[in-house]
Amino acid sequence: MSAVLDRVAALVGPALAVWQQLRPDPHDEPVPSDLSEARLRLPTTEGSGVLDPPGAGPDPPVDPLFLPRWTAAILRTALAVDRPTGAVDVGRLVGDLARLRFPARLPRHRRRQLAPAVQVLADLSDDMLPHRTDVLGLLGTLHRVVGQDRLAVLRFAGRPMTEVGAGNRTTWGPYRPPPVPQPVLLLSTLGSSFADPLAGGESLGRELSLLTRLLHRHGCRVVALVPNSAARVPAAHRRGLSVVEWDRTTSPRTVRRAVGR
């Protein structure tokens, strides 16, 4: 008899062990009888594992079009002019004296340096709206590099010859060139963002042509910073000015090539 009981225990014992493992804990919540009773247990609102809801904070910063470490040097290169501030030009002085010409000032070799005054024409057209932060940042750098008292900033919206001014748009009027020769910096897409530049930028092309011819007559050089590929600027919009691509691949060296200096 004992042998039979031992054999039964050997057969039933493993099954009982498995049942003990599978049997639900009496402290556990009962399984719902149907899906209508199912409840979703949400995590607590405390702890590092819970994500904060999105807030209405500031937008993430956007990298400027120019590399910050090059911006000042780019502007100095684009706005540089040749000025007689170098060493005395002895050869020229001797030649003048040999011809019995007595100069009022000693002739000096010319050196390239930042212009003493600069005028900026900032385009406020819709196609420049995505670059508003860059325009404001660049103007801030210009104030530091050129000097606030030597910098004149004018605004326009697609018509730089007929509607331009320093204040509110209601005060804009016809463009007037600087009183003395100086570089003019144009901040504009020059029509490069138009789907059809010839159609969308026809009036802009006429205005740019009039503007550059007027400035050249007054001895002013025009440099355009374009937030796009220079190849996209219509040829008619590039006449009489130097186009500098306003992006992170631009360096003082590429600016020097673009302005032909």
pLDDT in tens, 74-116: 999 999 987 665 666 677 767 777 787 877 777 676 667 888 9
Please list, in sequence order, all residues whose beta carbon lies within 8 angstroms of the beta carbon of residue 169, skipping any fewer than 6 positions away.
155, 157, 163
Q: Residue holding tokens 């199912």? A: 38
**Residue type for position 140:** G
Provide the pLDDT for residue 37. Answer: 45
Whether the predicted pLDDT of 186 surpasses 60 = yes
Percent of the chain with pLDDT over 70: 69
pTM of the model: 0.69
Strands 184-187 and 118-123: parallel
Q: What are the structural domains, with CATH classification, of the chain? A: 68-80+114-259 (3.40.50)
Whether the predicted pLDDT of 154 surpasses 80 = yes
Residue 21 pLDDT level (bands cut at 50, 70, 90) = low
Provide the pLDDT for residue 48. Answer: 47
* CB contact burial 216-228 (16+ within 10 A = b; e otherwise): eeeebbbbbbbbb
Residue 235 pLDDT level (bands cut at 50, 70, 90) = confident
Q: What is the mean pLDDT of the chain?
A: 79
Whether the predicted pLDDT of 43 surpasses 90 = no
